């Protein structure tokens, strides 16, 4: 394709009418043009990836952008063909991801359908590259397969298989027969296999690389033939070389294998005689991705954990992501005993101090295993970097140790208190932002004063290092001996320190001094700890927090709700004047939606609102159930479910059809942020009408019986097992009703 033709294609699109992650798409043509210049291609690729395919998200500008990019690539008008081709493969993978997950809102369905349709045009545009060589030719071959999936596993309407372009098959077959066979020929064979076409001619001479390409592609298509699995085990080293040529993401073969065929991954990875770290974490991926294959993968991981040359840190990192069975917990305890020092981990460009003993202990704590305190105490006592330790809380996420323990409601223990004090005596990290001393002090403050009485002198000495959290801890413990220290520290005007002082003195003037400071990010603490809730000045400040419109951030809306509650407690008439703000928060459907609804229910029960407001509130709840509230990522899942529970609490019937109620429950149960409220609604529906019970039970049964785990912000397999443990008895009651 000529440059002029490609420019015409770009010019035909009304880019300002389209959107990407950062606004309208009027800047896209410039980025596409920049792909042809060696000086700008890197920046243009970065901008296109970040804007029109931001974090694997589809926008209405994504499909036309990718089509225009394909035109430039197919016309050999790019300065970095390999990475331009990679961007197109990333787009194809994104489309498949959307289709696998399935979306039910009309806007997303339309986007996915448009993206799927565009892949056919993209495949045709890059088809001439197949006869060449290099990564872009291999990518062009794989894009043919991406455009015509025989079975995409899609949940998206109109995603049925489309007839494969005959010219594409001819191009793939011709190039697959070229010799000597290399990357492009392997990609062509893979594409033919994925498309269900005949690749026998290319495989007739037994070329090992092509044979492995065919094996990997049959497995990617869901095949589990013993001959293919055995061939993969026997030829693992060759497969590691071939996989990047035949599959997007194949540069990590264990990870790719577990994603495309968890059954094959469990078999193959368990059969490898000497699995490396990638294979070990491939087994973890099986555990995370597949309920049915997890047991076999965990069994192999447990067997590896007791081998004499196994690295305990590696096995702790693997097993802490597994469902915490007694065997897994025993292995974590044993492995933690073998660890004698800490290490570092990198997330993005940042490095963090870590200790596998702390990671093992945190997993044990979540499992309710009382043995958790010993390994974490050992880490705190012996690791020189104990003040800055970050503990693993998800597949790739970490949190300050003290903060993580607080979230899990860790209980006190004499040995643990001593270990924390030892950690606090350590030198702080070179980077002050990595110092976790404040989180450790906050953890101590969650425990009774009598449990930490020996820690008081040392905590007081940290007042200059972490004044806000230390002051709060001293106030929480009622440490009146620290009043003079706090008064001195409060001279700088720090609101948190002055609030702690007021909590200890209970002096009205000390509380008022708090209001004279900059209260940003301290508002919630002031609302929580203010002593005299009839104080006129305090109530005036509460009114200023409420204002007349919902705040823009979640924490500020939370403060608005607290202030509204306080004002109504002081003067029942404040509920009437505050109702418009509360109603607006509820109507928007954003967090903290449950707290907002709970406050409205409380006012209704106490008859603080006039009858017309009661009627309005009930109508608003009904509307939230039947009409989605949306944000930039689609429907706000929790809103309709929280409203439905509120209606049931009021003894009112749920509006909408059984199908609508089922959709609300299913979306919430499968959403990591709304799962708890979804399960609570499902539990309430065990006494609903028969049509609703049957519809909800049918959907929940499909979720319980499927192989895919529920997604989670934490460790997926662990959270999935917890969710199933709650869901199964609810489902039993729904089906028995």
- Asked whether residue 508 is assigned to any structural domain, the reply reads no
Of 638, 655, 672, the one marking the end of a domain is: 655
Same domain, 729 and 644: no
pLDDT value at residue 12: 87
Based on the fold, state whether residues 98 and 36 are members of the same structural domain: yes
Comparing CA positions, the residue from 465, 538, 532, 525 lying closest to residue 498 is 525
DSSP string, 678-735: HHHHHHHGGGS-HHHHHHHHHHHHHHHHSSSPPP-SS-HHHHHHHHHHHHHHHHHHHH
Within a domain: 268? no
419, 434, 462 - which closes a domain: 462
pLDDT tens figures, 162-211:
789 999 999 999 999 999 999 999 999 999 999 999 999 999 999 999 99
**Do 663 and 600 have their domain in common?**
no
Q: How far apart are CA 451 and CA 432, in angstroms?
A: 29
Are 18 and 143 part of one and the same domain? yes
Q: Classify residue 558: in a domain, yes or no.
A: yes
- Please name every residue paired with 23 in a beta bridge, in sequence order, or none if there are none: 20
603 Cβ partners below 8 Å, 6+ apart?
A: 568, 575, 579, 582, 609
| CB neighbour list of residue 52: distance below 8 Å, 6 or more residues apart | 20, 21, 25, 28, 59, 61, 62, 65, 66
Q: For residue 223, with 0-12 CB atoms within 10 Å meaning exposed, 13-18 middle and 19 or more buried, which class applies?
A: middle
Three-state DSSP class for residue 199: coil
The C-alpha R_g of the chain, in whole angstroms, comes to 30
Q: Which two tokens stand for residue 652?
A: 């009112």
Mean pLDDT of 654-679: 96
Ramachandran quadrant class, 20 (left: phi over 0; alpha: psi -120 to 50; beta: rest): beta
DSSP 194: H
Chain-centroid distance, C-alpha 279: 23
Report pLDDT for 154: 43
Tokens of 54: 């931001």
Residue among 545, 546, 611 nearest 582 (CA): 546
The reply to whether 144 and 88 lie within a common domain is yes
Residue 160 confidence (pLDDT) = 47
> How much is the pLDDT for 9?
72
Domain boundary among 462, 480, 506: 462
Tell which residue, 617, 696, 691, has the closest CA to residue 650. Answer: 617
| Pair 208, 215: CB distance under 8 Å | no
* Statement to judge: residues 554 and 691 lie in one domain: no
DSSP result, 16-44: GGSEETTEEGGGHHHHHHHTT-TTTHHHH
At residue 158, the pLDDT reads 46
The pLDDT of 695-717, averaged and rounded, is 96
The SS3 of residue 354 is strand
- Residue at 16 is within a domain: yes
Neighbours of 524 (CB within 10 A): 14
Query: Domain count of the chain?
Result: 4
Q: Could you tell me the two tokens for 685?
A: 């529906």
602-659 pLDDT, tens digit each: 999 999 999 999 999 999 999 999 999 998 778 999 999 999 999 999 999 999 999 9
Average pLDDT over residues 307-325: 96
Model pLDDT, residue 7:
54
Query: Could you tell me if residue 236 is inside a domain?
Result: no
Question: How many Cα neighbours within 13 Å face the side chain of 587?
Answer: 12
Is 399 inside any structural domain? yes
Task: Specify the 3-state DSSP secondary structure of 101.
Answer: helix
> Tokens standing for 628?
């989605």
Per-residue pLDDT, 1? 45
Q: What is the residue range of 698's domain?
A: 657-737
Tell me, yes or no, whether 716 and 611 share the same domain.
no
Confidence of residue 157 (pLDDT cuts 50, 70, 90): very low
Q: Is the pLDDT of residue 152 over 60?
A: no
Residues 6+ apart with CB under 8 A from 702: none
Rounded-to-integer distance, Cα 104 and Cα 188, Å = 35
Range from 206-210, 348-352, 513-517, 655-659 carrying the lowest mean pLDDT:
348-352
Among residues 554, 617, 630, 619, the alpha carbon closest in space to that of 589 is found at 630
Neighbours of 595 (CB within 10 A): 16
Two structure tokens written together for 45: 């690729």
Asked if 14 and 148 sit in the same domain, the reply is yes
* Helix, coil or strand: residue 533: coil
Whole-angstrom Cα distance, residue 115 to residue 52? 12
Say what the pLDDT of residue 104 is: 67
- Print burial letters for 487-497: b (CB count within 10 Å at least 16), e (below 16): eebbeeebbbb
The answer to whether position 526 is within a domain reads: no
Q: Tell me: do 635 and 737 sit in the same domain.
A: no
Output the pTM of the full model. Answer: 0.91
Cα–Cα distance measured from residue 138 to residue 127, given in angstroms and rounded to the nearest whole number:
10
Q: pLDDT > 70: what percent of the chain? A: 97
Is 123 part of a structural domain of the chain? yes
- The pLDDT of residue 103 is 67
Torsion angles phi and psi, residue 103, rounded to 5: -130, 145
* Phi then psi dihedrals of residue 351, to 5 deg: -110, 145
Same domain, 51 and 120: yes
Strand partners, 24: 19
Q: Tell me, yes or no, whether 74 and 127 share the same domain.
A: yes
Structure tokens at 104: 């039910």
Could you give the CA distance from residue 442 to residue 38 in angstroms, rounded to a whole number?
A: 53
Q: For residue 149, what pLDDT is reported?
A: 73
What pLDDT, on the 0 to 100 scale, is given for residue 621?
98
Residues 561, 445 within the same domain: no
């Amino acid at each position: 394709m000529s440059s002029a033709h490609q420019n015409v294609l770009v010019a035909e699109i009304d880019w300002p009418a389209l959107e990407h992650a950062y606004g309208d798409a009027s800047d896209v043509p410039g980025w596409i043009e920049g792909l042809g210049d060696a000086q700008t291609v890197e920046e243009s690729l970065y901008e296109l990836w970040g804007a029109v395919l931001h974090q694997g998200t589809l926008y209405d500008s994504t499909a036309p952008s990718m089509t225009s990019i394909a035109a430039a690539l197919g016309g050999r008008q790019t300065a970095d063909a390999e990475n331009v081709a990679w961007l197109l493969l990333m787009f194809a993978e994104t489309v498949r991801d959307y289709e696998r997950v399935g979306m039910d809102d009309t806007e997303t369905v339309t986007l996915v359908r448009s993206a799927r349709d565009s892949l056919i045009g993209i495949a045709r545009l890059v088809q001439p590259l197949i006869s060449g060589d290099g990564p872009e030719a291999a990518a062009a071959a794989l894009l043919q397969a991406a455009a015509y999936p025989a079975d995409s596993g899609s949940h998206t309407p109109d995603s049925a298989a489309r007839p494969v372009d005959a010219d594409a098959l001819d191009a793939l077959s011709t190039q697959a027969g070229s010799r000597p066979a290399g990357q492009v020929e392997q990609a062509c064979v893979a594409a033919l296999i994925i498309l269900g076409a005949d690749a026998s001619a290319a495989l007739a001479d037994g070329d090992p690389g092509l044979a492995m390409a065919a094996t990997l592609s049959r497995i990617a298509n869901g095949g589990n033939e013993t001959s293919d699995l055995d061939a993969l085990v026997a030829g693992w080293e060759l497969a590691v070389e071939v996989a990047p040529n035949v599959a997007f993401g194949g540069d990590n073969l264990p990870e790719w294998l577990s994603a495309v065929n968890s059954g094959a991954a469990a078999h193959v990875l368990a059969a490898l005689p000497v699995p490396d770290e990638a294979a070990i974490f491939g087994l973890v991926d099986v555990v995370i991705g597949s309920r049915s294959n997890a047991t076999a993968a965990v069994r192999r991981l447990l067997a590896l954990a007791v081998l004499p040359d196994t690295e305990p840190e590696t096995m702790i990192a693997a097993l802490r992501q597994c469902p915490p069975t007694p065997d897994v917990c025993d292995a974590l305890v044993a492995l933690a005993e073998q660890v004698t020092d800490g290490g570092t981990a990198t997330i993005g460009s940042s490095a963090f101090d870590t200790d596998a003993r702390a990671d093992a202990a945190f997993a044990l704590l979540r499992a309710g295993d009382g043995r958790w305190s010993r390994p974490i105490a050992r880490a705190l006592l012996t690791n020189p970097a104990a003040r800055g330790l970050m503990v693993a809380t998800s597949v790739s996420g970490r949190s300050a140790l003290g903060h993580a323990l607080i979230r899990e409601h860790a209980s006190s223990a004499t040995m643990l208190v001593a270990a924390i004090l030892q950690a606090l005596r350590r030198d702080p990290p070179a980077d002050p932002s990595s110092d976790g001393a404040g989180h450790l002090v906050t953890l101590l403050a969650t425990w009774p004063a009598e449990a930490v009485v020996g820690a008081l002198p040392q905590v007081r000495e940290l007042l200059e290092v972490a004044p806000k959290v230390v002051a709060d801890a001293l106030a929480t413990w009622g440490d009146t001996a620290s009043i003079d220290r706090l008064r001195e520290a409060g001279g700088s005007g720090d609101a948190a320190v002055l609030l702690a002082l007021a909590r200890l003195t209970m002096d009205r003037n000390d509380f008022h001094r708090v209001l004279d400071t900059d209260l940003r990010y301290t508002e919630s603490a002031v609302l929580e700890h203010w002593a005299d809730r009839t104080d006129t000045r305090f109530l005036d400040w509460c009114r200023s927090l409420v204002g007349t419109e919902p705040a823009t951030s979640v924490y500020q809306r939370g403060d608005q709700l607290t202030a509204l509650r306080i004002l109504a407690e002081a003067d029942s008439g404040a509920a009437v004047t505050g109702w418009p703000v509360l109603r607006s928060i509820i109507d928007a459907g954003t967090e903290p939606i449950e707290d907002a609804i709970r406050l409205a229910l409380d006012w209704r029960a106490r008859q603080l609102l006039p009858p017309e407001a009661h009627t309005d509130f009930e109508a608003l709840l009904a509307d939230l159930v039947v009409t989605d509230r949306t944000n930039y990522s689609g429907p706000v899942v929790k809103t309709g479910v929280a409203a439905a529970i509120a209606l049931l609490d009021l003894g009112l019937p749920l509006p909408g059809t059984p199908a609508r109620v089922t959709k609300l429950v299913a979306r919430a149960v499968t959403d990591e942020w709304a799962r708890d409220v979804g399960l609570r609604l499902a539990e309430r529906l065990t006494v609903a009408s028969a049509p609703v019970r049957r519809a909800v039970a049918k959907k929940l049964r499909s979720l319980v019986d499927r192989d895919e785990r529920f997604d989670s912000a934490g460790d997926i397999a662990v959270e999935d097992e917890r969710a199933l443990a709650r869901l199964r008895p609810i489902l039993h009651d729904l089906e028995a009703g």
